[in-house]
Amino acid sequence: MKNSLLVLSTLTAINGLSIISCQTTEHKGINVGVVVDGNGNLLNADTTDYKNDIRIFRQNMDKRIESNHQNLSEIRTKITKENKEANSDFSTTIFELEMANGYMKIKLEDYKPRKTDKWKIFKKEFSKVMDEWNIEFADFAATL
């Protein structure tokens, strides 16, 4: 009986020690499903998705801002060539649209990724302003 208790307590102690000393695969250096960014920082899947979302959003918005800039340049050229009298009337509107477009470019470039909930708010508000800009531009272009 003493031998049984001794064996049982020894096995329990060994089992307990093995559980305590177990390491996760991350601690052993086997990083399954772990992504490392350019600075060597470990990123989990949520962080990677978040950073990809920011990257893709910035690329898309940069394209829209550049397209807006080109459209404004084309309209400015068209107004200058076709109707010099209207040039002064439309210059103010074009200038305001250019300033708003430039401001959005700076705002997008200056955004520093923070928490995902703040990113979602920024993304939603930025998209809304860009949509409003496009509506204002379309309304202006329709008057030409």
- Can you give the pLDDT at residue 60? 96
Is pLDDT above 70 for 70?
Answer: yes
Residue 51 has pLDDT above 80, yes or no: yes
User: What pLDDT sits at residue 44?
Assistant: 56
- The mean pLDDT of the chain is 75
Round to whole Å and give the CA distance between 3 and 32: 43
**Integer Cα distance of 144 and 16 in angstroms:** 81
